[in-house]
């Protein structure tokens, strides 16, 4: 899910898909990656 969200954020920032709500996602993406890293240990 973090990869999908990161991809959508990149598309927004590159101007391919304008969605201002994407700018709120970086903390959520980072938290998902941290959680996955913790689980995989």
- Each domain of the chain, given as residue ranges in start order, spans 1-40
Residue pair 11/17 in contact (Cβ under 8 Å)? The answer is yes
Nearest to 19 by CA among 31, 6, 8: 8
- Give residue 40's pLDDT: 96
Answer whether 17's CB lies under 8 Å from 8's CB: yes
Q: How confident is the model at residue 12 (pLDDT cuts 50, 70, 90)?
A: very high
Q: Alpha-carbon distance 40 to 18, whole Å?
A: 34
pLDDT tens figures, 17-41 = 999 999 999 999 999 999 999 999 9
The pLDDT of residue 10 = 96
Distance of CA 24 to the CA centre of its chain: 9
């Amino acid at each position: 899910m973090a990869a999908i969200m990161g991809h959508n954020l990149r598309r927004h920032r590159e101007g391919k898909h304008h969605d201002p709500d994407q700018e709120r996602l970086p903390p959520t993406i980072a938290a998902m990656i941290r959680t996955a890293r913790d689980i995989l240990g």
